[in-house]
């Protein structure tokens, strides 16, 4: 598989073909910010397991549900990570100083709580309850 490091995140495009799907929506290019590669893969596994457990007789439907549950979050994580690529590598100067000041005055855990506090199994239960 080849992918450009710049451009559209792969999670935004098509990830399934009939009964085949990309098992991890995170199996695409991404930047190493927020330490999310392994965490996203574990979330993918938890959601996939929940979807397959709910529809063992219809794996295609389970894979569609998996994609529907995971795509918005995986895309959001990837876009946010890509957005940090420029800001994290500013040359010394006013923009870099302003960035550093914003880091010093903000609580990074409060801003990123949606990443680290996510419950992938709960996302499956909520999707099943909504059906």
Residue 94's contacts (CB-CB under 8 Å, 6 or more residues apart) are none
Helix or strand (DSSP H, E) at 113 = helix 113-116
Q: Check residue 16 and give its pLDDT.
A: 56
d(CA 80, CA 101): 20
The radius of gyration of the chain's CA atoms, rounded to the nearest angstrom, is 17
Secondary structure element (H or E) that encloses residue 70, with its range: helix 59-87
Task: Tell whether the model's pLDDT for residue 104 goes beyond 50.
Answer: yes
Q: Which of 37, 50, 64, 73 is nearest to 122 (CA)?
A: 50
Strand partners, 20: 17
Quick one: what percent of the chain has pLDDT higher than 90?
38
pTM score over 0.85: no
Query: In this model, does residue 98 exceed pLDDT 70?
Result: yes
Per-residue pLDDT tens digits for 23-39: 555 455 566 666 677 88
Encode pLDDT of 58-97 as tens digits.
999 999 999 999 999 988 888 888 878 788 889 999 999 9
Which of 10-19, 23-32, 104-113 comes out lowest in average pLDDT? 10-19
């Amino acid at each position: 598989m080849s992918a450009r490091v710049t451009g559209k995140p792969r999670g935004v495009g098509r990830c399934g073909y009939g009964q085949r799907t990309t098992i991890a929506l995170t199996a695409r290019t991404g930047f190493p910010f927020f330490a999310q590669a392994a965490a996203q893969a574990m979330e993918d596994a938890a959601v996939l397991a929940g979807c397959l457990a709910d529809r063992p007789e219809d794996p295609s439907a389970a894979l569609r549900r998996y994609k529907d549950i995971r795509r918005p979050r995986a895309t959001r994580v990837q876009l946010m990570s890509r957005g940090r690529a420029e800001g994290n590598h500013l040359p010394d100067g006013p923009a870099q100083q302003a960035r550093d000041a914003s880091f010093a005055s903000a609580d990074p855990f409060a801003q990123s709580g949606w990443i680290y506090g996510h419950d992938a199994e709960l996302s499956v239960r909520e999707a099943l309850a909504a059906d």
